[in-house]
A and B are shown apart, each in its own frame.
Chain A
């Protein structure tokens, strides 16, 4: 399943790139893309574990970029 989320307060392109790399490395994440300009995160993961993966992504984001919030 592929879903798009709005990211709030992602101010720096380098940070967006780093966050994207970090999310890609998470278990269960098939693909992740952050569009810095449109402030969108596209996350792809298996249907049955999508919610769990999303929780992990939100937790990671809070750690890497505390200013940035994933609106779901």
Chain B
């Protein structure tokens, strides 16, 4: 609680104490025995005014100011009219006095307002904590000493020092040192990332183990962390349809209820349908319940909480409208390369033929390719050195290799440890009269022959991401009806990826321009919203055309952040289903609040009109509902 709220609480407590004291005196008949009838009535009128004014003087002042400015229909006005009206009932001598209710309504209104202010403050604070990823200083070396400076002062190309436990303030390249980086605040990924000299570091990550010297490549304001914060903060300005609906609703609702209240207070008694006092009281009850604050605060709060909660998972949503659109997605279209596959070539299969095991085959191929700098040779060597194929202690011993030569367009030949080795495509094998089998895997097949005998093949392809199949399964489980892949790649490659991942449809051999056309055809047949997932490179037009454009692997990629509506910070496709779940949860909370708040209010209005609801219930309908809705909205921040 802040200072203002503490003072507020004190005031309410004092007013409450006085209120109950007066109530006790009144009920126990003490007032009646001192002042007699009807003096006791006037005495209690004056006594009830004391807690009323202590608790509500600011509300009355605000109402008065608004009336003078010609802005009548706000909460303080409604409360002032309702409570003053309750006190004024004393003018109807035949009716029960309602001073206690007038004072109590003001008191509980203030209790609710205080609670509301506290809840809003608390959710603001947890959102702020969630987004507390911006470092407030950078270390820079001056005259041999480390000094802390404002990160805004750092120029591009300056060298900053990041100590263990500190956040990287500005994007840059490591020039000295190595460490583990905790990227959880940006990507939601809990496994630390290793960096060393030459590697890029992204601002917002926490340096965990070693001291890093980093040459900055961006200004603080343009660094990843600043851009993310700006994006999330501004996201609440792009309003969802639901939010706009609530704003419009509030605009017509309050005047309508106010006039209805006046009508209820005046019309029936004029027509002789009952006592004035009775109907005026019903009209006042109407007024109390009429404030739309529960909706006006809780709906944007839910969206903001959802956007904040998503950003903690490494999912940046650029506006409430996109969160809303995401919740209605039933078709997800993927670009293949960089999205479902890693976009870099790697060994996806090592198939030895009879005489060798996988490790021996890969070792032989890697040695034969040792002097080639072809990308395919590079991926074979990398796979071998990374321990694929389970060779014990992989290392390329260049002394074993003789007579290495490129067979242009076909492969390589070399003498490895005294054996003559051929590594290359089918044409190379055919040229040497060696029979070779076909492989069931799709990709580039690298056949290997040793001393003129076929020994097996290595398959190189754009590797499918580890969690791609899981991502598709999750999407189907989340109720997405169609997962479709678009690719410029060959039919066979597309078919094999689509089958392996369980995609519902694929469209292969598309030129970049064809992708937009194909997407439009799919858009025509989609019932719900369509999301397109790409890596932000070359697919900006498609990202824009889809209902929701999702860009993946945005750590540092400006193009992706610009073009997309939703940005996944890391490159795991399984985050798409999580994003949809967060969106659906947020929309569920928003809808619950709308139905609950409007429902309760309409119910109390109806009860008030027929005279069943009293003012106590009406106060609950106003502030009670608002507080419950706010508490519900805060759930949107949690994990989906």
A13–B122 Cα distance when bound, in Å, is 15
| B451 interfacial by beta-carbon distance below 8 Å | no
Taking a contact as CB atoms under 8 Å apart, the answer to whether A38 and B71 are in contact is no
Residues of A within 8 A of B224 (CB): none
| B200 interfacial by beta-carbon distance below 8 Å | no
Indicate whether A11 sits within 8 Å of B117 (C-beta atoms), given known contacts A35-B233, A35-B236, A39-B124.
yes
Which A22-46 residues sit within 8 Å CB-CB of chain B?
33, 35-40
Residues of B within 8 A of A18 (CB): 71, 74
Q: Which of A14, A37, A40, A67 touches B75 (beta carbons < 8 Å)? A: A14
Residues of A within 8 A of B127 (CB): 37-38
Taking a contact as CB atoms under 8 Å apart, the answer to whether A13 and B116 are in contact is no
| B296 interfacial by beta-carbon distance below 8 Å | yes
| B376 interfacial by beta-carbon distance below 8 Å | no
Indicate whether A38 sits within 8 Å of B233 (C-beta atoms), given known contacts A12-B293, A14-B75, A14-B296.
yes
CB-nearest residue of chain B relative to A14?
Answer: B296
- Give chain A nearest CB distance to B385 CB in angstroms: 49
Residues of A within 8 A of B4 (CB): 9, 67
Stretch in B154-162, B297-305, B478-486 touching the partner: B297-305
A18–B304 Cα distance when bound, in Å, is 20
A35–B297 Cα distance when bound, in Å, is 12
A49–B370 Cα distance when bound, in Å, is 70
Residues of A within 8 A of B236 (CB): 35, 37-38
Residues of B within 8 A of A39 (CB): 124
A12–B59 Cα distance when bound, in Å, is 14
Interface size on A, residues (CB 8 A): 19
Taking a contact as CB atoms under 8 Å apart, the answer to whether B300 and A36 are in contact is yes
Among B4, B120, B304, which residue has the most Cβ atoms of chain A within 10 A? B120
Residues of B within 8 A of A40 (CB): 233
A40–B236 Cα distance when bound, in Å, is 12
A17–B116 Cα distance when bound, in Å, is 18
Residues of B within 8 A of A64 (CB): 69
Taking a contact as CB atoms under 8 Å apart, the answer to whether A14 and B304 are in contact is no
A43–B304 Cα distance when bound, in Å, is 22
Q: Which of A17, A33, A37 touches B124 (beta carbons < 8 Å)? A: A37
A44–B179 Cα distance when bound, in Å, is 43
Taking a contact as CB atoms under 8 Å apart, the answer to whether A37 and B300 are in contact is yes
A57–B62 Cα distance when bound, in Å, is 19
- Give chain A nearest CB distance to B125 CB in angstroms: 11
Residues of A within 8 A of B116 (CB): 11
CB-nearest residue of chain A relative to B297?
Answer: A13
Which B51-77 residues sit within 8 Å CB-CB of chain A?
62, 65, 69, 71, 74-75
Q: Which of A14, A33, A36 touches B250 (beta carbons < 8 Å)? A: A14
- Give chain B nearest CB distance to A55 CB in angstroms: 20
| B562 interfacial by beta-carbon distance below 8 Å | no
- Give chain A nearest CB distance to B235 CB in angstroms: 10
Per-position 1/0 for A1-20, Cβ under 8 A of B: 00000000101111101100
Indicate whether A11 sits within 8 Å of B237 (C-beta atoms), given known contacts A18-B71, A36-B300, A37-B304.
no
- Give chain B nearest CB distance to A31 CB in angstroms: 12
Taking a contact as CB atoms under 8 Å apart, the answer to whether B301 and A14 are in contact is no
Per-position 1/0 for B269-313, Cβ under 8 A of A: 000000000000000000000001100110011001000000000
A30–B515 Cα distance when bound, in Å, is 41
A33–B69 Cα distance when bound, in Å, is 22
A33–B239 Cα distance when bound, in Å, is 13
CB-nearest residue of chain A relative to B229?
Answer: A38
Residues of A within 8 A of B292 (CB): 14
A13–B62 Cα distance when bound, in Å, is 16
- Give chain A nearest CB distance to B170 CB in angstroms: 21
- Give chain B nearest CB distance to A66 CB in angstroms: 8
- Give chain B nearest CB distance to A28 CB in angstroms: 21
Q: A38-B124, A38-B236 are in contact. List 6 more A-B contacts (CB 8 A).
A: A12-B296, A14-B250, A35-B237, A37-B236, A37-B300, A67-B4
A residues contacting B by CB (< 8 A) are 9, 11-15, 17-18, 33, 35-40, 63-64, 66-67
Q: Which 6 A-B pairs have the closest CB atoms?
A: A13-B296, A11-B117, A13-B297, A37-B304, A14-B296, A38-B233
16 A-B pairs with CB atoms under 8 Å apart are: A11-B120, A12-B293, A12-B297, A13-B296, A14-B74, A17-B247, A35-B236, A35-B237, A37-B124, A37-B300, A37-B301, A38-B124, A39-B124, A40-B233, A66-B62, A67-B4
